[in-house]
Structure 1
Amino acid sequence: MLAQQESCSEDEIQVPRVDVKNLSPLSPEVICKQATINLGTIGHVAHGKSTVVKAISGVTTVRFTNELVKNITIKLGYANAKIYKCENEACPRPGCYRSYRSDKENRPPCERPGCRSRMKLVRHVSFVDCPGHDILMATMLNGAAVMDAALLLIAGNEDCPQPQTSEHLAAVEIMKLEHIIILQNKVDLIKESQAVEQQKSISAFVKGTIAESSPIVPISAQLKYNIDAVNEYIATRIPIPIRDFTSAPRLILIRSFDVNKPGAEVEALKGGVAGGSILTGVLNLGMDVEIRPGVVTKDSTGRTHCTPIRSHVFSLHAENNSLDFAVPGGLIGVGTKIDPTLCRADRLVGQVLGAAGTLPEIYTELELSLFLLRRLLGVKTDSSTKKQTKVGKLDKGELLLVNIGSTSTGGRVLSVRGDLAKIQLTAPACADIGEKVALSRRIEKHWRLIGEFQASEAAKCWGTLQRGTVLEVD
């Protein structure tokens, strides 16, 4: 997702003049370089999420050494893809839809035999490839924070639903994703009669959920069977979300890293790179930006302080495409002059980047209105464990895992009154009142999703962390 930024000085930055009132997610100057919609791939482990992303985008999202050795997704994976449709109306569907890497030309020739027409770019999408292991549920929730729609992978050679199939579907339902495409993968490994029977099981599983009316597309991601049909559904069934181009820019960080190679000379050092998805507004080169909460420290008395990180936008990238400006949607890499050690190894994940002076407050304690799930998801159930699947009420002093946007932090329950709960955060979080919060409880050594919450009120007077105050910004 995040290409290495170019080395430049502040004086060399050419600040583009962008008329945001005339921009839209389908504007040619936007969609030709930047993705404008985020698609998540969700589902149980080894059901083919990363393989589907590679089949559509041509990009391998499994990149880290420990992921390659274990052949699993551990960190969130990213890839961009352009989806085209043949301009020849006689070109039969779904073969008239094709997908390529994000650096593909704007009007490539149609590849169907005998068709000499050109193809039109209809979608430019970013994939957020989520891990399927139960122990990585917090990572999946971080990715769900930037999703506009989702591809739910269900392996055709396994029973439906598997534990994380249910848990991931519940997670995106909490995040209010309205558009889901169900991919029945690995149909090449089963007979046609088995595929038909499993489709009935899938329909029964999603009945009454947000995915009840979602299409079920049989595919083989490994052999790229029916991938053109998936492209058609992405282009026709998933609309571009309404985007706010005029508000102050705000980007939620889900990656950060140091692009400098070991042994680099001082003169060649580059600043840290922050990556994520813009929620509102437009980021321009040369813009003054701020990252909150920033650097969090404690003094000798145990009091917590935060110092927001301030810098300029020195480069913008969407994979290999260099941008003059970045709009909401898609995954963006922001090159800065921030000390690269602050960005190394995803240290800024969970923070928020935006125009200086426009970001929300930093909270250490939240009062939440809550809704608990009726039963526990993500675990296999049988007659001997059914009593354990019911989600119990929150207990005072209980330690939970709190997901606010892309922030994952611990939270201790201070009090519970009816449908309200007051929770003290282990680490400060930058969030808006009314923002969705997901909470997980530790059960059998793993974090399990137990419900959705909405921040309703937070303390706003200076004081100590124990009293649930907003941190004083240095």
Structure 2
Amino acid sequence: MTTVKQRANAHLPPKVMSTSGRLTIGFVGYGRVGKSTLLQALLNNKIDLSKRKTHPTSELHVVSAHIYKCSFPNTPCYRSRVNGNVVPALCGFPGHELNSMVLSRDVSFVDCPGEVQFASTMLGALCLVDVIFILSTATGVFTQSPSFELLAAANILGKKVVVIQSMIDSTNETRGMQCIEPLIIPISAWNRTNINEVCKVISDISVEEYDDHSPVGMLIYSNCTEVDQESGDTILTIYGRLLKGTFKQNQRLEIRPGAVSLDEDGRPKCNPIIIELTSLESEGGMPTSGSLISVKAAINYDLVGNLVTDMTGYISGDVGSLPDVFSALEIKVSLLPFMFNPYTEELEVTSKILENEKLLMTIGMLSTSATVRKVMDNAVIDFAIH
């Protein structure tokens, strides 16, 4: 492990944007704002109007779907289906009943937890997706809700954002329109109001093309282990997003940070985990970069079992190609002017960061505690990571 200091950004080549690649969309929003209900509507699942979900989402829920559009030019007719379901053959919209439907977009949806206690999981998921759909209720004032923080975080990450005003069936038109701006799509997932408009927005979004030719790099968002009943081997299954490169069968992969120990001088040392793939699956078919995938490998549980209980936020890739692991960071920060207090349910002025203060840091999808060692000029802070 080493200490890293702030460095100037290297010159980066221009981004290549495309509307044809696979798109990963994260649904975020605090509280019961209808994220899972909107997901059901987009997947064309039946929604039981007599039963509204009472338990919150506590972990990431990932599902893949296809967006179809009418083959007739310049028509606002769209349909969506979960992968594996029957493809709509005909448009069916008034005036276009006999027109065929064509595939417009492959998309993966990530339903994020909305309760305040799962805030680090929600913020970490922002790094996993291309586009962020922030949901806010029609009766709430967006700038006075915790969704304000999500919009600020998305802006810092440079993510594309669509704000969706949900539950418009629960308010009058005048009250709902007070919150609507050009950025916002008003919907009712229960009544499927404006779901077609959401599909159109998804189809038209352009994102940066991914690199299939670089060494493999994958961000892990979940994992589990199970015993194969036939061979008796312990199988490790890793779920993540392939950020670059392309996996191959029987490929050797490195997982970082892995195990952390002390060297002869008492300094932290990173010991990556090495695995060999036995199988891989992709949400969208072929496991190309940008896809949400799962990979499996047989492991020696006695040696690494305690290291793979929770690898959320870890990275995996070609052996020897992954970045260094750091034990301390020097970061320039920009504090948001306000933060949401879940106890008073109000926005409050953000307090200054103090020396020796303990903070929860979410970097990518990995959260850890850190102690502020020094606060310097220009908002540069020296953190010791635990």
Question: For the superposition of Structure 1 and Structure 2, which TM-score range results when normalised by the shorter chain?
Answer: 0.7 to 0.9
Residue 6 (structure 2) aligns with: none
Alignment of 1:259-408 (within 5 A): 259-260=226-227, 265=229, 267=231, 269=233, 271-297=235-261, 304-319=268-283, 323=286, 326-339=287-300, 342=305, 347-378=310-341, 389-408=348-367
Shift of 1:299: 8.6
Q: Do the aligned partners of residues 197 and 393 (structure 1) sit closer, same or farther apart at CA in structure 2, a change above 3 Å counting?
A: closer
> Is the aligned partner of 1:46 residue 2:7?
no
Partner of 2:162: 181
Q: Within 2, Cα distance between the matches of 1:311 and 1:279? A: 19
Q: What amino acid is the match of 1:41?
A: F
Report the equivalent of 2:91.
Answer: 110
Looking at structure 1, the residues matched to 73 and 89 of structure 2 have their Cα atoms a distance apart, in angstroms, of: 16
Partner Cα separation in structure 2 for residue 72 and residue 49 of structure 1: 10
Structure 2: distance between partners of 1:327 and 1:120: 22
- Secondary structure of 1:138's match? helix
1:421 alignment partner, one of 376, 381, 386: 381
Which letter maps to 1:56?
A: L
Name the TM-score, length of structure 2 as normaliser. Answer: 0.83
Q: 1:162 to 1:254 in 2, by over 3 A?
A: farther
The answer to whether the 8 A contact 1:185-1:221 is kept is yes
Residue 14 of structure 2 corresponds to none
Cα pair 1:272 1:342 within 8 Å, conserved: no
The answer to whether the 8 Å contact 1:163/1:378 transfers is: no
Q: 1:194 aligns with which of 172, 175, 182?
A: 175
CA distance in 2, matches of 1:300, 1:59: 58
* CA distance in structure 2 between the partners assigned to 1:169 and 1:373 by the alignment: 11
* Whole-Å separation in 1 of the counterparts to 2:107 and 2:212: 18
Q: 2:207 aligns with which of 220, 227, 240?
A: 240
AA partner of residue 225 (structure 1):
T
- Kindly report which structure 2 residues correspond to 1:2-17, keeping only aligned pairs within 5 A, or say none: none
Q: In structure 1, how many angstroms separate the alpha carbons of the residues matched to 2:236 and 2:149?
A: 34
Give the unaligned 5+ runs of structure 1.
1-23, 61-67, 204-212, 427-474
Cα distance in 1 for partners of 2:179, 2:39 equals: 23
Which amino acid in 2 is paired with 1:408?
Answer: S
Partner residue of 1:85? 69
Could you tell me which amino acid in structure 1 is paired with residue 27 of structure 2?
A: T
Amino acid at match of 1:361: D
1:189-228 Cα shifts (integer Å, max 9, x gaps): 12222222232xxx4xxxxxxxxx62x2111112222111
| Whole-angstrom distance in 1 between the partners of 2:297 and 2:129 | 25
Given that 1:414 and 1:424 are in contact with CA atoms closer than 8 Å, whether structure 2 keeps it comes out as: yes
Cα distance change on mapping 1:343 and 1:286 into 2, 3 Å: farther
RMSD: 3.1
Among 139, 154, 159, the alignment partner of 2:136 is 154
Quote how far apart the aligned CAs of 1:100 are: 0.5
Tell whether the 8 Å contact from 1:183 to 1:218 is kept in structure 2 after alignment.
yes
What is the CA-CA distance between 1:330 and the residue it aligns to?
A: 3.4
The whole-number CA distance in structure 1 between the counterparts of 2:86 and 2:309 is 32
* Secondary structure at 1:73 match in 2: coil
Distance 1:339 1:87 in 2: 53
Cα distance in 1 for partners of 2:117, 2:73 equals: 48
Please say if residues 104 and 203 of structure 2, whose CA atoms lie closer than 8 Å, have aligned partners that are also in contact.
Answer: yes
Distance 2:280 2:44 in 1: 22
Q: Which runs of 5+ in 2 are unaligned?
A: 1-16, 47-51
Q: State how far apart, in whole Å, the 1-side matches of 2:331 and 2:241 are.
A: 25
- Residue 247 of structure 1 aligns to a residue in which SS? coil
- SS class of match (1:167): helix
Q: Distance in 2 between matches of 1:422 and 1:347?
A: 27
Give the CA deviation at 1:287.
Answer: 2.0
Report the residue type matching 1:45 in the other structure. G
- TM-score, normalising length: structure 1: 0.69
**Within the alignment, does 1:130 sit opposite 2:93 as a pair?**
no
Alpha-carbon distance between aligned partners in 2 of 1:357 and 1:104, rounded to the nearest angstrom: 41
Could you tell me how far apart the structure 2 residues matched to 1:395 and 1:220 are? 44
> Any conservation in 1 of the 2:19–2:203 contact (CA below 8 Å)?
no
- Is the CA contact 2:233–2:299 (under 8 Å) kept in the aligned structure 1? no
Deviation at 1:304, TM superposition (A): 4.1
What is the aligned-residue identity percentage? 28
Tell me the distance in 2 between the aligned counterparts of 1:26 and 1:339: 43
In 1, the alpha carbon distance for the partners of 2:309 and 2:35 equals 22
Task: Assess, with a 3 A threshold, how the Cα gap between structure 1 residues 343 and 117 changes in structure 2: closer, same or farther.
Answer: farther
Match of 2:225 among 258, 280, 291: 258
Where does 1:19-98 land on structure 2 (aligned, <5 Å)? 36-58=22-44, 71-89=55-73, 92-93=75-76, 96-98=77-79
1:249 counterpart = 2:233: no
Map of 1:208 onto structure 2: none
Q: Aligned pair 1:225/2:188, yes or no?
A: no
Letter in 2 for 1:293: P
AA in 2 matched with 1:126: S
